[in-house]
Amino acid sequence: MAELKRTLGLFDAFAIGIGAIIGSGIFVVTGIAAGLAGPALLLSLIFGAIISGFTALSFAELAQARPKEGGGYEFAREFISPFAGFIAGWLWILSNVVVGVVVSLGFASYLALFIPFPVNVNIIAALACIAVTFINYLGARDSSLLNDILVIIKLLILALFVAFGLGSVKSGNFSPFMPTGEIGIMQGATLIFFAYSGFARVTLISEEVKDPKKNIPRAIILSLGISTIVYMLVSFTAVGLVGYKVLASSGSPLADAAQSVGKNLAYFVSVGALVATFSVLLTTLLGLSRISFAMSRDSDLPHFFTRLDKHSTPYYTVLVFGFTMAVLALFSNLMQAVALANFGSLLYYLLSNYAALKLENHVYPRIIPVLGIITCVVLLVFLSRDAWVRGCIVLLAGVVYYYLLKKWQKNRVNAVGGS
């Protein structure tokens, strides 16, 4: 069986989690959520963190019990059934390919702002996908080191935004505090859940983390906790600087808020957005390569995905998914397909919470995964019709693929046994 090397420490694991959470969400989603909740966006952030916390604790518990590569795929396969594991992995892969393409386009849009002549955003996005493919090809140690650096840079830039912006906050921008009432707060919390959802990324590389039973749960809890504090401070500052209406109508809300303080701060915030989107793209491909490696090892995907190079990197998975994202970024914008990503992510989290519920020895109260299941179901119900249509098509395609694959494997075993 192909095995990976344990080269990542606690900070590396934490950086992968926070690198996945603090991305385009904090630079864009906060503006959309402000339009839904008004200044009560701060309450949406707290509720979103609580909702995310249920599922995060389930992942922490599962990672402690089953520290294997593959995250929710491995958890569902081990504690529910092989079919449930396949569906979790199938949905996660397809939804995160979409996420990777959308993030690459976001990166390209920010980079285009720094280029003094017209450029094709799709070509830049494709080149960004190729760049992260090369970085991930070098191995988890090198790609993680770069991610550590990117995380530190974007946290420092956000700290600068808060430090220089707090002195110019206007109390009048927080009144009325709840212009859309409780419904707006919960709508904002639903959106924030998706902005927080990178907390489980580190479980996909469990076999590459040192002392995973301790470090992975710590990394999950730390990344969600610290990102919540960052989101709160940044959102408070942004709303206080320009008001929620300006944030809601802007495609780059933090940059516009920083502009009210000075052009230099706005420039640094734009650089931060560039760094953040690249960091998310980097960890997205890392996760895609590892979950497909785990599925291949269990014969749920082609066996060549398990091949490792001298860096102990599953290089076929890196190359296949990296170049797939590059091609899709080149010929499509895929923005509407984000609905598929939301559907796939929620079903993936739902299955993981159910897997945590089936654990014999619970670290946290048994009610935690129950609440995780309930919140995932509620969020699924409130997804758009488009999300359900696209999601069910992908789900059905996965069921058909799984059935045909197992039938072929069974016939192959029978043929070998009969010969």
Q: What is the pLDDT of residues 220-249, one digit of tens each?
A: 889 999 989 999 999 999 899 888 888 888
Q: 62 is written with which tokens? A: 């599962």
Distance CA 123, CA 370 (A): 45
- Domain membership flag for residue 67: yes
> What's at 416, amino acid-wise?
V
Q: pLDDT class for 3, splitting at 50, 70, 90? A: low
> What's at 335, amino acid-wise?
M
- Domain membership flag for residue 4: no
Q: Would you tell me how many other CB atoms lie within 10 Å of the CB of residue 43?
A: 19
Q: What is the mean pLDDT of residues 386-393?
A: 86
SS3 of residue 8 by DSSP: strand
- Domain membership flag for residue 413: no
Contacts of 45 (CB under 8 A, 6+ apart): 33, 189, 192, 228, 231, 232, 235
Distance CA 358, CA 366 (A): 10
Distance CA 247, CA 241 (A): 10
For residue 22, pLDDT over 90 is answered with no
Q: Are 235 and 32 in contact (CB under 8 A)?
A: no
For residue 102, give Cα distances in angstroms to 253, 276, 334.
18, 13, 7
More confident position, 397 or 413: 397
Can you say whether the dihedral through the CA atoms of 27, 31, 36, 40 is positive or negative?
A: positive
Q: What does the pLDDT read at residue 127?
A: 93
Q: What does the pLDDT read at residue 37?
A: 87
Distance CA 7, CA 293 (A): 17
Q: What does the pLDDT read at residue 81?
A: 92
Q: Are 224 and 21 in contact (CB under 8 A)?
A: yes
Q: Report pLDDT digits (tens) over 83-131.
A: 999 999 999 888 888 888 888 887 887 788 788 888 888 899 999 999 9
Q: Report pLDDT digits (tens) over 43-59.
A: 998 988 888 899 999 99
Q: What is the mean pLDDT of residues 251-260?
A: 80
Q: Are 279 and 19 in contact (CB under 8 A)?
A: yes
Q: What is the mean pLDDT of residues 302-308?
A: 80
CATH code at position 137: 1.20.1740.10
pLDDT winner (highest mean) among 19-33, 151-165, 197-211, 329-343:
151-165
Q: pLDDT class for 142, splitting at 50, 70, 90? A: low
Distance CA 268, CA 270 (A): 5
* DSSP-assigned states of every residue in 359-373: -SS-SS-THHHHHHH
- Domain membership flag for residue 1: no
Q: Give the DSSP H/E element, type plus range, for residue 345.
A: helix 338-357
**What total number of domains does the chain contain?**
1
> What's at 59, amino acid-wise?
F
Query: How large a percentage of the chain has pLDDT more than 90?
Result: 18
Q: pLDDT class for 24, splitting at 50, 70, 90? A: low
Residue 209 is classified by DSSP as B
More confident position, 283 or 396: 396
In which domain, by residue range, is 54 found? Answer: 10-408
- Domain membership flag for residue 417: no
- Domain membership flag for residue 414: no
